[in-house]
Amino acid sequence: MHRRVSGAPFDGTPFYGLGTPFDLIFNSIKLQCRCIINLELSPTYAGDDVTKFLSWMCILAVSFSNLYAPEHLIINVEDAEKWESFVENAGSVFLGPWTPESVGDYASGTNHVLPTYGYARMYGGVSLDYFLKYMTVQSLTEEGLRTLGPYVATMAEVEGLDAHKRAVTLRLKDIEK
């Protein structure tokens, strides 16, 4: 998106998506509505076909966004919160008409160090988690080693890791005594 526009959605201000003015996009959608579901799209029409079509358009938009993995994703539609669960790849998500990106940048408490260039497919923004240390701990019972041991010994043997295999088989021998 080349430029973000604030204000009413149909205020006549050009909205750029790959350089296309909003009215051209809206007229294209109207044409597609007539072609695909044979209806006239008007501000007063509240039929199921329009609702289904617009839901389908939102699904396409979220699907594209998940592939694109934007640094910032603004979801400014009615019931924006319901679309959050469909978002998989975005640096930071802004939901609803009262959540401009600038609030996220400066005041809402989220970190503004976000993945760019599609890296949101693999990484999230910097958060407190980056400054925490995680450690895994394992503890097996005799029964646990008796159950898992033969599989572990086989895998270690296949990989040629004799010390790993012996660490298990020696303990299994002790259990059998």
Tens digit of each residue's pLDDT (9 = 90 or more) over 119-157: 899 988 888 888 888 888 999 999 999 999 999 999 999
- pLDDT classification of 23: cutoffs 50, 70, 90: low
- Residue 172 contacts residue 163 (beta carbons within 8 Å): no
Assess whether 94 and 152 both reside in one domain.
Answer: no
Active site residues: 71-72
The tally of CA atoms less than 13 A away on the side-chain side of residue 6 is: 6
Would you say residue 54 lies in a domain? yes
Q: Which two tokens stand for residue 45?
A: 């029409």
Assess whether 125 and 153 both reside in one domain.
Answer: no
Assess whether 113 and 156 both reside in one domain.
Answer: no
Reported as a single tens digit per residue, the pLDDT across 31-66 is 665 555 444 444 444 456 656 666 777 788 888 888
Q: 119 or 111: whose pLDDT is higher?
A: 119
Domain count for the chain: 2
How far CA 77 is from CA of 21, 43, 98, 118, 136, in Å, comes to 19, 16, 11, 23, 42
The boundaries of the domain holding residue 156 are 142-176
- pLDDT classification of 30: cutoffs 50, 70, 90: low
Q: Which two tokens stand for residue 27?
A: 């007229």
- pLDDT classification of 15: cutoffs 50, 70, 90: very low
- pLDDT classification of 166: cutoffs 50, 70, 90: very high
Would you say residue 16 lies in a domain? no
Assess whether 93 and 165 both reside in one domain.
Answer: no
Choose the final residue of a domain: 93, 110, 130.
130
